[in-house]
Amino acid sequence: MIIKKLTRQGNSAALVIDKQLLNLLNFNQDTDLKITVSGRQLIIEPLSDSERAARFKEISKRDLKKDKELYRRLANLRIRWTTIYF
């Protein structure tokens, strides 16, 4: 068992995970973690491959929808640029 205290991070509190524990769990700073609450317990686990794929799909869909006009204009610029120079 490891006993830790929360540290202040701006207006929030952070739980610092030591490098040895990160190595033991095979986590790094880029690991996407899922945090769930069960009673008074926090359960921290990495996202499964299917959860990561679903999250990526959701974010991509949202961003494509949000920036639809930008992508359309960029595509038109590419067409004009290739027409002019090639």
Render 38-50 in DSSP notation, one character per residue. Answer: ETTEEEEEEPPHH
Q: Are 43 and 35 in contact (CB under 8 A)?
A: yes
> Is it the case that residue 14 has pLDDT exceeding 90?
yes
CA 66/CA 86 separation, integer angstroms:
32
Predicted TM-score (pTM) of this structure: 0.54
pLDDT digits (tens, 9 = 90+) for 16-67: 999 999 999 989 888 889 999 999 999 999 988 888 788 888 888 888 888 8
The two structure tokens encoding residue 69: 């006009």
| Amino acid, res. 85 | Y
Confidence of residue 77 (pLDDT cuts 50, 70, 90): confident
Please report where in the chains the tokens 């120079």 appear, as a residue: 85
